[in-house]
Structure 1
Amino acid sequence: MSTVRAPRRDAQANRTSILTAARVALAQDPNASIDLIASTAGLSRRALYGHFDDRSALIAELIRTGAQRFNAIAEQPLANEAPIALAELAARLWHHIAHIQTVTAIALDDAHVADTAAALAPLRKTVAEIVERGRRTNALRTDIPDDVLARLIEETARMVVRVDVVGPDAATTAVRAVLSIAGLSWQEADALLAARPEIIEAAA
């Protein structure tokens, strides 16, 4: 009588080590090789391929698991007013970028835009809802279609990360950039953040 063998105890540990090593390597270099990732994990290339068919499969898993945190942020309650909701979302995401460096680095790599977009579908849905609400109330710009504006907001956030904004005012700069592309003047963005300092403070 045959029996089903339980998975080796170290199988999950090795998979976890591979994902951890990949996060470290890819956060430093989005083009990090499989060999580098395997050696960082203390495993052979063959052992790595025992868990992932290829580099693309490994990256897809990193995107999927890492995006869960961004999507969870998007599910948190936001203000009813579209500009305030957009500022809150941008600030919260900015303050979590340091904790999800790998997904951030991959998201900036055009080769993985499709995978990243799919993994971040809940976040993109939240942005689209804010845009629709803001345009309906004339709180956000109405000179371009909803879907185009939502995409421009996404790309603006992406570019702010790409230029590596740093310093104590980095979060404020990121939020201002997003509000600007959404249709607020710099004076309006300044007034909003001055009236709602908790947007930046609470997200830290």
Structure 2
Amino acid sequence: MTAMTTGTPSRADANRRRILDIALAELLRDPDASMDQIARAAGVVRRTVYGHFPSREALISTLLDGAVEAVAAAYAEGRAGAGDPAECVARTTLAVWRVADRYRILVGLAQRSVTVQGIRDRFTPVREACVEVLRQGLEEGVFSSPLPAPALAYMHEQMLFALMEAVNDGLLAAAEAGSSAAVTLLSTAGVPVSRATALVAELSDVTTARPAG
């Protein structure tokens, strides 16, 4: 009896995770994919999908929560290996973009079903970490901006969202978007473009050369 009780939630969790993975793939392929399309792609009836997610908006909101968790983990990883604030911004932007690229279609979709404030609230922990790095850089003279650190962090966040939309709209190649984003954020923090470009190129080369696993 106990084994059956503990086994059922595991199967339910696995089904839920599979539906989420397939939903993300379908939405990347077709941002207007319906719950019916997602159910067919997952090989289940629509009722099964609705059993986990009462609406398409709830499904997208759940996917967004997963994206935020992945972004936060990537930011922490990038920050852990950084030296000065400029390197920290470059590393974290590159790390976040590698994860966010998988979820970038959600930015536009979430804005239709989740309030902008709701999206901002989800990213509060990452934004607060960014503020700390930017404040340190401004105090040390590594960065130069007329904006205080909190406003600069907010601007960086919105710029990343805008760059994701630019990729979605075909205005920026996905392959070069991460490096472009890192250089852009550094330059808006007052780092000379030449230095920002060289730093990002160096870090990108190191990442590319790192053995898998």
Which segment is superposed worse, 5-14 or 182-191? 5-14
* 1:142 corresponds to which of 133, 145, 148: 145
Q: How far has the Cα of 1:78 moved from its partner?
A: 4.1
CA contact 1:108–1:162 (8 Å) conserved in 2: yes
Q: How far has the Cα of 1:22 moved from its partner?
A: 0.9
State the Cα RMSD in Å.
2.6
How big is each residue's C-alpha offset from its partner over 1:118-173, in whole Å with a ceiling of 9 and x where there is no partner?
33333222211111111222222331122221111112222222222327644332
Distance 1:174 1:8 in 2: 41
Distance 2:105 2:48 in 1: 25
Cα separation, partners in 2 of 1:170 and 1:19, compared to 1, 3 Å: closer
Q: Where does residue 44 of structure 1 map in the other structure?
A: 45
CA contact 2:75–2:93 (8 Å) conserved in 1: no
Distance 2:108 2:187 in 1: 21
What are the residue-to-residue correspondences of 1:1-204 with 2, within 5 Å? 6=5, 7=8, 10-76=11-77, 77-98=80-101, 101=102, 103-109=103-109, 110-111=111-112, 112=114, 113-164=116-167, 165-166=172-173, 169-193=176-200, 197=202, 199-204=203-208
Q: Which has the higher contact order (CA 8 A, sep 6+)?
A: 1
Q: What is the percent sequence identity of the aligned residues?
A: 27
Which segment is superposed worse, 117-126 or 19-28? 117-126
Cα separation, partners in 2 of 1:129 and 1:30, compared to 1, 3 Å: farther
Cα separation, partners in 2 of 1:49 and 1:185, compared to 1, 3 Å: same
Distance 1:9 1:149 in 2: 43
Partner SS for 1:47: helix
Cα separation, partners in 2 of 1:191 and 1:200, compared to 1, 3 Å: closer
Which segment is superposed worse, 49-58 or 81-90? 49-58
Letter in 2 for 1:105: I
Partner SS for 1:163: helix
Q: Which ranges of structure 2 fall in alignment gaps of 5 or more residues?
A: 209-213
Q: Which ranges of structure 1 fall in alignment gaps of 5 or more residues?
A: none
Q: How far has the Cα of 1:30 moved from its partner?
A: 3.3
- Give the TM-score, by structure 2 length: 0.78
Q: How far has the Cα of 1:97 moved from its partner?
A: 3.5
Cα separation, partners in 2 of 1:91 and 1:203, compared to 1, 3 Å: farther
CA contact 1:63–1:115 (8 Å) conserved in 2: no
Give the number of aligned pairs: 195
Distance 1:11 1:152 in 2: 40
Distance 1:126 1:104 in 2: 21
Partner SS for 2:52: coil
Partner SS for 1:143: coil
Distance 1:59 1:193 in 2: 32
